[in-house]
A and B are shown apart, each in its own frame.
Chain A
């Protein structure tokens, strides 16, 4: 992303415990490392696990005004309520990134945006750790959008994750790479 007038915003949404906030946090951190201006705005329900959670991330080459975005360029949705809430808000020609493990592809019915499907829970289970579904989604989302270098994401893990989780960094990196690989193989224009 060497464009000197770069601007991109997106929403990551799901239910609490799916790790949606960490997806946005890692992308924001990596973009900051690459010299961009960033804002990361989390919103979560009063309850934690099982409640709704989402975050808005803005990445820009210039100082950012609003961290609140009405119509995002992309939405990464991890469950159906998130698709219903944020799918209609995506800008025309934007990207809807769908966790097809929990959302029927027919639910993503907009024709004026790109719909990308990835069964992140199945992929995570196949690779032996269902908890890494969010990292699979992150890897694939970043491969699709090319927002940051993969190495920046890897380096951000130790900054974003609490020290007590640092022993899990290698498995997180592996999951990000698996997600990226899936997106690379599915790079052909998806069904519209």
Chain B
């Protein structure tokens, strides 16, 4: 991958597409929707010359089922869409989880509910972190906050999906998808992945493999649900990722993810310039949520301000994580306009003591 080590200025969406190629994903299925169209645009141009397949399906429902089929053969495959399209995919994502198939689903979310709008929003937090479709399952959810992270976390998402045989979601938004920043196409730490012995590759010289999500024999579905649960518990132990900025001496800690964390970072700097001891805690994995690190932090810091581009979703996870006597405040910015760092600073001053 090193021939790409030159620094380039690209959109977040393009960074995801580049990461897919660099991760060996040569199969893409999708249906166009703003604000993620740069992903299919890039891959439609670059996958065919590499011997890959780019398929613009007739719908999002077809896209996610093409992904399921491709994944069943052991190949790396992905789809991308934006909020309403991701809603249409939920049945297929549930089937992927039920069949224990890896796969990458990118949600460059827009605003809802319904057709909503194309402005940045974090209104899909619940959908992404609570499974989204029917049944008792979770997806791995990664929330990039920079263009380099759009690339790095996409590479990681493919590895984690394979490691756990579970769908992984990249949750971005119109801001982080459309913004350009310098990117280096670097290869990250390699995870040792087991061979995909479960894949449907033709049963020549071996027993046939079966991939399914239907379990009708007495007790077997219960057993399968507990097996999935064990997997999610293992993710909670091994895969939590977060960033902590200036929290060591903080009296108030902001909690924000993705694009909102970017704005908050500057607000922390502005607050520090005024002598206010403010820090930032940024979950990178939304599932598994960094419960323990946040709990540990709440033993030293008692005031938290959660900031989201919605009316309060991650807020619930923050409240569930912190120690009982911690105060959790909230600043919500539903879709329409983005808060400036100065506006966030005003919020900080309301709760700083």
Q: Which residues of A contact B (CB under 8 A)?
A: 25, 28-29, 32, 37-43, 46, 64-71, 159-160
Q: How far is the CA of A8 from the CA of B266 in the complex (A)?
A: 14
Q: Are B182 and A40 in contact (CB under 8 A)?
A: no
Q: Which residue of B lies closest to A26 (CB)?
A: B9
Most interface-central of A37, A42, A65 (chain B CB within 10 A):
A65
Q: How far is the CA of A70 from the CA of B267 in the complex (A)?
A: 12
Given contacts A37-B182, A39-B179, A39-B181, contact A68 B9 (CB under 8 A): no
Q: Are B338 and A42 in contact (CB under 8 A)?
A: no
The reply to whether the CB of B341 lies closer than 8 angstroms to some CB of chain A is yes
Q: How far is the CA of A70 from the CA of B340 in the complex (A)?
A: 5
Q: Are A67 and B340 in contact (CB under 8 A)?
A: no
Q: Smallest CB–CB gap between A70 and chain B, Å?
A: 3
Q: Are B342 and A70 in contact (CB under 8 A)?
A: yes
Cβ contacts under 8 Å, B264 to chain A: 65
Cβ contacts under 8 Å, B339 to chain A: 68
Q: Which residue of B lies closest to A25 (CB)?
A: B180
Given contacts A38-B181, A41-B179, A159-B9, contact A65 B265 (CB under 8 A): yes
Q: Are A41 and B178 in contact (CB under 8 A)?
A: yes
The reply to whether the CB of B7 lies closer than 8 angstroms to some CB of chain A is yes
Q: How far is the CA of A33 from the CA of B124 in the complex (A)?
A: 36
Q: With A43-B178, A65-B265 given, name 13 new contacts (CB 8 A).
A: A25-B9, A25-B180, A28-B9, A39-B179, A40-B9, A40-B181, A42-B179, A65-B267, A65-B268, A68-B175, A68-B339, A68-B340, A68-B341
The reply to whether the CB of B62 lies closer than 8 angstroms to some CB of chain A is no
Give the residues from 181 to 211 in chain B that come closer than 8 angstroms, CB to CB, to chain A.
181-182
The reply to whether the CB of B297 lies closer than 8 angstroms to some CB of chain A is no
Given contacts A39-B179, A67-B179, A68-B263, contact A32 B7 (CB under 8 A): yes
The reply to whether the CB of B323 lies closer than 8 angstroms to some CB of chain A is no
Given contacts A28-B9, A32-B7, A46-B118, contact A66 B263 (CB under 8 A): yes
Q: Which residue of B lies closest to A30 (CB)?
A: B9
Given contacts A65-B341, A67-B175, A71-B342, contact A38 B269 (CB under 8 A): no
Q: Smallest CB–CB gap between A169 and chain B, Å?
A: 17
Q: Are B118 and A32 in contact (CB under 8 A)?
A: no
Q: Which residues of B contact A (CB under 8 A)?
A: 7-9, 34, 118, 175, 178-182, 262-269, 338-343
Q: How far is the CA of A160 from the CA of B7 in the complex (A)?
A: 13
Q: Are A40 and B180 in contact (CB under 8 A)?
A: yes
Q: Are A71 and B340 in contact (CB under 8 A)?
A: yes
Contact of B263 among A25, A38, A42, A65 (CB under 8 A): A65
Q: Are B340 and A66 in contact (CB under 8 A)?
A: yes
Q: How far is the CA of A84 from the CA of B34 in the complex (A)?
A: 28
Q: How far is the CA of A44 from the CA of B344 in the complex (A)?
A: 24
Cβ contacts under 8 Å, A70 to chain B: 340-343
Q: How far is the CA of A18 from the CA of B338 in the complex (A)?
A: 25
Q: Are A29 and B265 in contact (CB under 8 A)?
A: no
Q: Are A32 and B340 in contact (CB under 8 A)?
A: no
Q: How far is the CA of A71 from the CA of B340 in the complex (A)?
A: 9
Q: How far is the CA of A32 from the CA of B182 in the complex (A)?
A: 7
5 contacts between A and B (CB under 8 A): A38-B182, A41-B180, A68-B340, A70-B341, A70-B342
Q: Are B118 and A65 in contact (CB under 8 A)?
A: no
Closest 10 pairs (CB-CB, A-B): A70-B340, A65-B266, A65-B265, A66-B266, A40-B180, A66-B263, A66-B341, A68-B338, A41-B179, A70-B342
Q: How far is the CA of A65 from the CA of B342 in the complex (A)?
A: 13
Given contacts A39-B180, A40-B179, A159-B9, contact A65 B343 (CB under 8 A): no
Cβ contacts under 8 Å, B341 to chain A: 65-66, 68, 70
Most interface-central of A64, A68, A70 (chain B CB within 10 A):
A68
Q: Which residue of A lies closest to B337 (CB)?
A: A68
